[in-house]
Chain A
Amino acid sequence: MQKFDKLTGIAAPLPLVNIDTDMIIPKQFLKTIKRSGLGVNLFDEMRYDRQGNEIPDFVLNKPAYRDAQILVAGDNFGCGSSREHAPWALLDFGIRCVISTSFADIFYNNCFKNGILPIVLPQEDVDKLMEDAERGSNATVTVDLESQTISGPDGGEITFEVDPWRKHCLLNGLDDIGLTLEKAPAIDAFEEKMRAERPWV
């Protein structure tokens, strides 16, 4: 997994609530057996018309936001389907950080597994960043995971919370499976106990 420590980039505003994973990556693109290549279809139905032409109004189609690395979105981002294709598509497009007042549980987990930092902030902070983001390429935002701060274009600083374990894994790009396999003796012991206590499982 790619490390995440400090990111300075353009933030794109997406002020919609309940952006679901069907919107992030529609199901017709889930038929791949790969993780890569989904970025061109990120937000497909909002981004392209039926003929495959770009819809100029959509934020990521605007010249200022084509290289956005941060997304500022409305409440409950990533709700719906568990598809990890959603963070894969964001990552493939180049988005490494999503900021909202709240995220759906599975999507939130999936982000950390892919080196994307989801940040939960109070409404007023999200509103402020949304305003900054409206200013496009004139306004880069810096997200520093180590110090847990976001600095806006005008120099203001916002702090955010993140689970210490997840922070550690992101900062070091650690692979969960490798770490868990180090605990194999504990899993062996648990299975042994279960064979005695709940043999029907």
Chain B
Amino acid sequence: MSGKTLYDKIWDAHLAHEAEDGTSLLYIDRHLVHEVTSPQAFEGLRMAGRTVRAPDKTIAVPDHNVPTTEGRENPDQMPADSRTQVAALDTNAKDFGIHYYPVSDVRQGIVHIVGPEQGWTLPGMTVVCGDSHTATHGAFGALAHGIGTSEVEHVLATQTLIQKKSKNMKVEITGKLPPGVTAKDITMAVIGETGTAGGTGYVIEYCGEAIRELSIEGRMTICNMAIEGGARAGLIAPDDKTLDYIKGRPHAPKGAQWEAAMAWWQTLHSDPDAHWDKVVTLRGEDIAPLVTWGTSPEDVLPIDAVVPAPDSFEGGKVGAAQRALDYMGLTPGQKLSDIEIDTVFIGSCTNGRIEDLRAAAEILRGKKVKDGLRAMVVPGSGLVRAQAEEEGLADIFKQAGFEWRMAGCSMCLAMNPDQLAEGERCVSTSNRNFEGRQGYKGRTHLASPAMAAAAAVTGKLTDVREIV
């Protein structure tokens, strides 16, 4: 019998029931909740007279809708419909007795940043949230994935999820990264390689030297975009860096429980003889700073490339590429580094953590944002914001001409007032460049925080290696 993958091990450790056909009830250790995908689930509970089975394992925070301007506790700052959603979460958290970080709490932020920051996310756990980027928590060796609202209600009521097991896929990044190349470039490179449906039906485990070398925050960036490759979840086996990150966090185990937990966590890795249904290997040395040119996260190219011609693709992608170029207002053959931009957005659960802000500030120190360009930094949580202020990063951003905002999802999906106007072009550190994602007819180029900072300085898509 072959050994087990990390995914197999976590799966087996959470199987509460298994039917003959393989349909399983997977026990859920942490359920994260935000204001957009939960109101109908709580409403469903109420209508059926049900309660939340494990309120102590359920954590709620408003993030998608909230304004990111100061003084936002003032309800006038929020449009009525957003206010209704946030108020519904306030009420539901109180009525059902779940952990809650309201807008006024310094610990409030993007749900996928708050969970790990507070020590809610631990290795070997199952973590779900009504949000596709729940994959982020896989960086700790937790099986974490997004669910729909019906499933949110199911987890609230039963603390389990009906699941069928996915297949195992290994993504190995060997060797070292060249200068200027970051976790964001790795994760975009993988999607460029596999396509947005390449991971469908799989749980991905990322491994290899380049992954091991990354910080925990970098690993979160990697797993965050596993969903953009279609995978159910992304995982990275825990190691000493993981334990260092977790230790001492408010909800991390302490004392004897810490010792017991560590003993189990150390078994959480794929066995050498584990079976993989698919393996993808990339050489770290071959990865360059990347940007997207189209309207799908698979539309990635190195910054020194040119806009591709639609007929260089195959099948349905030919039409999709033409549509993307029309939408993006680009011409085949145009150098990516000649593309002028209006806006820079640094933030999101992909790249809104302290190391991301440090990387961007490093580029911006002593420089100015290009005249007429709008640039904003939205820290991923109130605590990230506070730390950046303490480290002097906020001053660097402000002196460079960036807006320094409060925490939330903001222009990652533009559900709050932070939006692109029609035709505006943005370099964004978020994860989706879909049509309309950052505002109606807005145009998005995804990139790393350092690349976004470099673009803010020159007003064009820019190779960060030419700035430092």
Query: A residues engaging B (CB < 8 A)?
Result: 15-18, 20, 22-23, 26-28, 30-35, 45, 50, 74-76, 79-84, 87, 102-106, 109-110, 113-114, 163-165, 176-177, 180-181, 183-184, 186-187, 189-191, 194, 198-201
Contacts and interface: CB of A to CB of B under 8 A. Distances in A.
B196 A181 contact: no
Nearest to B29: A201
Contacts of B435: 22-23, 45
**Which interface class (under 10, 10 to 19, 20 to 34, 35 or more) fits B?**
35 or more
B21 A165 contact: yes
B232 to A, nearest CB: 5
Interface in B1-57: 16-17, 19, 21, 23, 25, 27, 29, 36-37, 39-40, 43, 48, 50, 53, 57
B333 interface: no
B85 A31 contact: yes
A79 B149 contact: no
B260 A200 contact: yes
B230 A105 contact: yes
A76 B230 contact: yes
17 contacts: A16-B323, A26-B436, A27-B414, A30-B36, A45-B436, A80-B132, A80-B434, A84-B130, A104-B230, A114-B150, A164-B21, A183-B16, A186-B25, A187-B160, A190-B27, A200-B261, A201-B122
Interface string B221-265: 000000000111000000000000000000001000110110010
Report the 4 A-B pairs with minimum CB-CB distance, sorted nearest first. Answer: A200-B253, A113-B150, A33-B39, A110-B148
A26 B414 CA distance: 10
Contacts of A31: 36, 65, 81-82, 84-85, 415
Contacts of B317: 17
Contact of A16 (B230, B319, B432): B319
Interface-centre pick from B149, B201, B231, B320 (highest chain A CB count, 10 A): B149
Contacts, number: 178
Interface stretch (B151-159, B174-182, B206-214): B151-159
A16 B264 CA distance: 47
B187 to A, nearest CB: 16
B162 interface: yes
A113 B151 contact: yes
A103 B21 CA distance: 22
B419 to A, nearest CB: 10
B131 interface: yes
B264 A183 contact: no
Contacts of A26: 436, 440
Nearest to A198: B264
B316 interface: yes
A72 to B, nearest CB: 13
B227 to A, nearest CB: 8
B196 A18 contact: yes
Nearest to B27: A190
Given A23-B435, A187-B27, A75 B197 contact: yes
A32 B158 contact: no
A87 B149 CA distance: 11
Contacts of B157: 177, 180-181
Given A45-B440, A187-B159, A106 B148 contact: yes
Given A82-B147, A176-B150, A194-B27, 17 more contacts: A17-B319, A27-B413, A31-B85, A81-B132, A82-B130, A83-B37, A109-B151, A110-B149, A165-B23, A177-B153, A177-B158, A180-B154, A180-B162, A183-B16, A187-B17, A187-B158, A189-B16
Given A30-B36, A165-B23, A177-B153, A102 B200 contact: yes
Contacts of A79: 196-197, 230
B450 interface: no
Given A31-B84, A199-B257, A165 B132 contact: no
A2 B153 CA distance: 18
A109 B81 CA distance: 28
Given A16-B320, A23-B434, A27-B415, A104 B37 contact: no
B405 interface: no
A34 B415 CA distance: 17
A84 B432 CA distance: 18
Given A75-B316, A82-B131, A180-B160, A104 B197 contact: yes
A201 B88 CA distance: 28
